[in-house]
Amino acid sequence: MKKLILISLGALAVLSVVVGAYVIYAYCQYHRIPDRQPLSVKQTASPEQVTTGKTYKMMTFNIGYAAYPADYSFFMDGGKEVRARSKADVLANLKESNRLIAAENPDFVNLQEVDYEGDRSFKVDEPAYFTSRNPNYTSVFANNYDSAYLFYPITEPIGKAKSGLLTLSKGEVKGATRFSLPIETNIKKFFDLDRAFSVSELPVSNGKTLYLYNVHMSAFIKDQVIQKAQLTKLFGHMAAQAKSGDYVICGGDYNHVLSGQAHPELTWMKPFPTADLADSLRVVAPTNAPSVRSNDIAYGEHSTLGVIDGFLVTDNIKALSIQTVQNNFKSSDHNPVTMTFELLP
């Protein structure tokens, strides 16, 4: 019995050292990516001139770091799986997502949850995957988060996550910037991934600028003060650009319901606060099909569905059509959303 007690105490001591070492590691590794960070623009050889009166198409698509086929369930939503199933599965999902881009042939593309060096996605360089297969687009990549190794869940840790926002444009991009969004500041900050939005500046033939925003907001935080603060910063930044008479479009995953039924019991399907938008901004969202599914179970008749992906635009932009590209969540827990539009003179 005495020997058993000594063994147990020894094991407890080792466990305490391991846990303590991990806590120190997490604190030492924790950092936030700087606000107002200039971004590299990889310009295509022959960018198009953006003009007024021409019909353009834009797509926004959260690719779910290529880990979520239709029969996948995710542990943070109450499902079973943590990482992508295999590197081959990641590549297959990327191929399908890129097929959707090619089929729609949009002029502008906003992608979210695009991983690189992520344990959850087998370290596949997803920004390079899309840029190499779409050479006729100028590209801008912004880190959304660069988190330390997350040793959770213990049975299969999600690991280190490096992921971001990829913007593709057939038009010339003269500059781009990453702006940080507020996140929780207490102990929960170690479990809430960094968040941001990117802004790409495109010159328009009439001397104005088209500002393309790409955003992916927090999904699993319960602090509504932080959620509101994220939206307040985004809305304020867009309103300032709109005040100068320039064109503004924000496409992304808002983790708030833009159209249709909300599910307030879910942290990522609360109603979108349309009333908080400046008078010059409005929501353009699809109603033909859902853009997101719940990940507590495989996609099917019992899935919770909604529209949390879409666009915010200024009143000098004429939206001609908006739709979800119904792909039955084949390669992601999101379907792409496309909008055709014109810039008014």
Confidence grade of residue 8 (pLDDT, cut at 50, 70, 90): low
Whole-number Å distance between alpha carbons of 320 and 339:
7
Per-residue pLDDT at 125: 98
Higher-scoring residue by pLDDT: 21, 294:
294
Contact 208, 246 (CB under 8 A): yes
Q: Which CATH entry fits the domain spanning 33-343: 1.10.357.10, 3.60.10.10, 1.20.1250.20, 1.10.3720.10?
A: 3.60.10.10
> Do residues 229 and 242 make contact, with C-beta atoms less than 8 angstroms apart?
no
Percent of the chain predicted with pLDDT > 90: 78
**Residue 153 contacts residue 75 (beta carbons within 8 Å):** yes
pLDDT at residue 317 is higher than 60:
yes
**pLDDT digits 0-9 by tens, 12-37:** 555 454 444 434 434 444 456 789 99
Q: What is the pLDDT of residue 31?
A: 52
pLDDT, mean of residues 146-175 = 87
pTM: 0.91
Residue 323 confidence (pLDDT) above 50: yes
Cα pseudo-dihedral 287, 345, 41, 45, rounded to 10: 110
**Residue pLDDT, tens place only, 110-128:** 999 999 999 999 999 999 9
Q: Which residues contact 155 (CB under 8 A, 6 or more apart)?
A: none
Report, as an integer, the average pLDDT of 291-319: 97
Reported as a single tens digit per residue, the pLDDT across 66-83 is 999 999 999 989 999 999
pLDDT for position 189:
45
- Write down the pLDDT at residue 9: 57
Domain boundaries, the chain: 1-30, 33-343
Q: What percent of the chain has pLDDT over 70?
A: 86
